[in-house]
Amino acid sequence: MKKYIITIIILFAIILLSIGGYFIYANAKTNESNSLDMLKSKSISEIEFLSSDIITMMNEINNISYSNFKVESKEIEMNDKSSQNSIDSQNVINTTQIVNDNILNNYKDSTDWTLLKSKIENMYSTWTTVMMDLTSLNVNKDNLLKYNDVLDKITKDFENEDKSSSLIHLADLYNLLESYIKDIGSDNQKVSLFIVESNILYAYSYIEQDNWNKVLEYIGRAKQEFSNIINNQINNVNNIDVINKSYILINELEKNANNKDKNIFYINYSNLMQELENID
């Protein structure tokens, strides 16, 4: 009888330990999953931050701004004659004024290479942190190593003040971000948007070389990928207007490229990139 009771107690203890172990394991897996989701979300935000920086640099090479106006500081010298003596005293007044900041007037202006050199230098330190996070998410290591290589090329381009090469290599950098977004396993729409933007940036970069065949090739790829976003409009009821407007602008870019109209291309490019930013 005692043996029977002992056996029951042992079995009961084993069952309790098994149940307890299961809950500990399940809780550990849940915590691991939550931690992974947080890292994934953080990495996506980091990639989006880098992508915004790349686009800004590409725009600054041609002095393209999304704003039609900018604020400029100006010094005005005032001469004041004293009534007590006839000595002129000169005063300087700092004023600000709003001036037009349009693409047609600005893109031919000189590029601020000093500003761009500062930005690309800052990207090195930013990338170190991002790379560590992406490594933890098992993003393709060969592609991760390429990022620094391209950064080095862009740094050289900026030192040489080479617009054409700078634009191509910045587009290459953005294309790498697209591959990281795919590896992370982001939602299909986010991946499609990165692919569309990557192709539009390549099209924009090849204008500096007047390589209109390449421009049309990349616009065609962007149109093809954008069809996935259009077909998914049932899940984008809040974005229907901006999606339709973006599609119209992609077609306008294609028309500009066929007409080899650089000025109007830059205007529609700027408008398109702003619209793509508004697609959630």
* Element containing residue 86 per DSSP (H, E): none
Number of domains composing the chain: 1
Q: What is the pLDDT of residue 108?
A: 61
**Cβ within 8 Å of residue 183, ≥6 positions away:** 134, 137, 138, 139, 140, 143
Question: Does some domain include residue 249?
Answer: yes
Are the C-beta atoms of residues 251 and 223 closer than 8 Å to each other? yes
Q: Which runs of consecutive H residues, i.e. helices, occur in 90-162?
A: 103-106, 113-136, 141-160
CA pair distance 239, 278, nearest whole angstrom: 8
CA-derived radius of gyration, the chain: 28
Nearest to 116 by CA among 165, 68, 154: 154
Question: Does some domain include residue 256?
Answer: yes
Q: What is the pLDDT of residues 86-103, one digit of tens each?
A: 445 456 555 434 334 566
Question: Does some domain include residue 18?
Answer: no
Q: What is the pLDDT of residues 136-189, one digit of tens each?
A: 998 999 999 999 999 999 999 999 999 999 999 999 999 999 999 999 977 888
Question: Does some domain include residue 35?
Answer: no
Question: Does some domain include residue 250?
Answer: yes
Nearest to 150 by CA among 133, 135, 170, 134: 170
Question: Does some domain include residue 48?
Answer: yes
Pairing of strands 69-81, 88-100: antiparallel
- Note the pTM of the prediction, 2 decimals: 0.76
Count of CB atoms within 10 A of residue 144's CB? 19
Q: What is the pLDDT of residue 78?
A: 52
Question: Does some domain include residue 55?
Answer: yes
Q: What is the pLDDT of residues 40-79, one digit of tens each?
A: 989 999 999 999 999 999 999 999 988 654 434 445 555 5
Q: What is the pLDDT of residues 244-266, one digit of tens each?
A: 999 999 999 999 999 999 999 99
Question: Does some domain include residue 100?
Answer: no
Q: What is the pLDDT of residue 220?
A: 97
CA pair distance 61, 54, nearest whole angstrom: 11
Average pLDDT of the residues in 217-224: 97
When pLDDT is cut at 50, 70 and 90, the band that residue 3 belongs to is: low
Q: Domain containing 58: what range? A: 41-65+107-277
Tokens of 142: 């060969």
When pLDDT is cut at 50, 70 and 90, the band that residue 213 belongs to is: very high
Q: What is the pLDDT of residue 188?
A: 85
